[in-house]
Amino acid sequence: MNTRLPEQGGSFSHDTRNKAYWPTKGLFSQVTFTGFNTVFFSDFNYGKMIIDIRYFKTVFKNQVFAFQFYSFSTFGRPPLRDLAALGGQTNLRGIYNGRYRDNNFYSFIGEYRVPVYKRFACVFFAGFGSVYNSINQITAEDVKGSYGGGLRYALLKKERLNLRLDYGYSNRHNKGFYFTVAECF
């Protein structure tokens, strides 16, 4: 079956970060809405909204606290592959991406980023979040948490584009290594 997903949508962004790859100060916020409708030749009628808010603050010499709030919401009847999926290399590291799926999810992640020597740095992170069908179904028992740490090597020294190796562990018996380029957020 060839499923068509033509989409329409829009986005609003605000960015005061001092760098794109390894910010040491500033705020990034973005709200994105995408709609799919049979009127526009989609096989589905649904919408999705993403809210992404990131804050960066230098606390000691070149050491940074980074925070992200992320929300993914669907409206209507999305296909399985477009449901909200908690976890993975860009969300709660330590939870397998897609292990928890529903119509919506939220997460809050904090990182402590510390330069170590020349191009090397380390990161400590922790976060929590949950998937849910509707907002009145959010309960404390459903919250999943993860934490871990990682090493960084700056591929581009000035821009601080990093090669990253992270190990994350979750309170729900998940764990994993992540080897990627660029930060989680």
What integer is the mean pLDDT of 66-77? 95
How confident is the model over 68-88, as a mean pLDDT?
93
Residue 54's closest CA among 106, 104, 108? 108
User: Is the confidence at residue 167, as pLDDT, over 60?
Assistant: yes
**How far apart, in Å, are the Cα atoms of 150 and each of 64, 66, 153, 156?**
15, 14, 10, 18
CB atoms within 10 A of CB 154: 18
> Hey, which residues does 140 pair with through a beta bridge?
none
Say how far residue 32 (Cα) sits from the centre of its chain. 14
Mean pLDDT, residues 55-75 = 96
Nearest-10 Cα torsion for 138, 140, 144, 149: 130
Q: What is the DSSP letter of 160?
A: T
Within 10 angstroms of residue 129's Cβ, the number of other Cβ atoms is: 25
Query: How do residues 10-43 score in pLDDT, each as one tens digit?
Result: 999 999 999 999 999 999 999 999 999 878 778 8
User: What is the CATH class of 8-181?
Assistant: mainly beta
pLDDT-derived band of residue 1, with 50, 70 and 90 as boundaries? very low
- The tens digit of pLDDT for each residue in 131-163 reads 999 888 888 888 999 999 999 999 998 889 999
- Measure the CA angle with vertex 37, ends 35 and 42; round to 5°: 110
Domain ranges of the chain: 8-181
